[in-house]
Amino acid sequence: MRLIVGISGASGVIYGVRLLEVARELGVETHLIATGWARRTIEHELGRPAAEVTALATASYHPSDLSSPVASGSFQTAGMVVLPCSMKTLGALAAGYTADLLTRAADVCLKERRTLVLCPRETPLHAIHLENMLRLSRAGAIIMPPVPAFYDRPRTLQDVVDHFVGRVLDHFGIRSGLYAEWQGMGPEAVDEP
């Protein structure tokens, strides 16, 4: 399986990095596009050299390299995730503006009807953000903000990150074992008036 992974410069790069780590452990072929700001954010938020993170991917491409394989629909992939997805990237995709490889690869997924998961990391959201998300959802993208789940009672930040990354991978049919499936609370939990 081939998966394209985009990391934009938004806060929350820990999610994209963890996805690369897990994909590598599972033997998933990853093709990474990390923007310049993503590299800076990796170093700032995680204290890791960006080169260490890009080395986690099977292949890594410069955002200006529009001649790379992931720029073409003939390069077969399971799809793409942009994690995190900045509002700049989201807005460009919503407008069909593909000036760099990250937006071009995502646009290819849309046109080829491949799975595209966008994980916008911004709050609060204004009307333009919301309209861009709706427009992309209507075009076939899965809009999946990195919102933590608490039903599995996470104890650490790693638990929160792993749960979300596992849910993202589910959209590509990749079972990661990073979280336990919801089993319900049982009928005794319901207190109806």
pLDDT in tens, 105-122: 999 999 999 999 999 999
The string of pLDDT tens digits covering residues 22-39 is 999 999 999 999 999 999
Instruction: Say how many domains are in the chain.
Output: 1
CATH label of the domain that carries residue 120 = 3.40.50.1950
The span from the first CA to the last CA of the chain, in angstroms, equals 50
Q: In the prediction, which pLDDT does 84 show?
A: 98
161 neighbors 22 (Cβ within 8 angstroms): no
What contacts 54, CB < 8 A, 6 or more positions away? 32, 34, 39, 60
The string of pLDDT tens digits covering residues 124-142 is 999 999 999 999 999 999 9
Binding-site residues for FMN, please?
9-11, 35, 86-89, 121
Query: Which pTM does this prediction carry?
Result: 0.95
Amino acid at 115: T
What contacts 141, CB < 8 A, 6 or more positions away? 93, 106, 110, 116, 117, 118
Determine the Cα–Cα distance for residues 114 and 140; give it in Å rounded to an integer.
Answer: 9
144 neighbors 172 (Cβ within 8 angstroms): no
Q: 190 falls in which pLDDT band (50, 70, 90)?
A: low
Q: If 0-12 CB within 10 Å is exposed, 13-18 middle and 19+ buried, where does residue 177 land?
A: exposed
* Between 181 and 159, the higher pLDDT residue: 159
53, 150, 125, 38: which is closest to 85 by C-alpha?
38
Q: Looking at the predicted structure, is the pLDDT value of residue 192 above 70?
A: no
Edge-to-edge strand order for the sheet containing 59-61? 59-61, 29-34, 2-7, 79-85, 115-120, 142-143
Could you tell me where the DSSP H helices lie in 86-188? Answer: 87-95, 101-111, 127-138, 157-170
13 neighbors 42 (Cβ within 8 angstroms): yes
Q: If 0-12 CB within 10 Å is exposed, 13-18 middle and 19+ buried, where does residue 182 land?
A: exposed
Binding-site residues, please?
9-11, 35, 86-89, 121, 151, 167
69 neighbors 2 (Cβ within 8 angstroms): no
Binding-site residues for dimethylallyl phosphate, please?
151, 167
Local structure of 51: helix, strand or coil: helix
**Which residue segment(s) compose the domain that 114 sits in?**
2-189
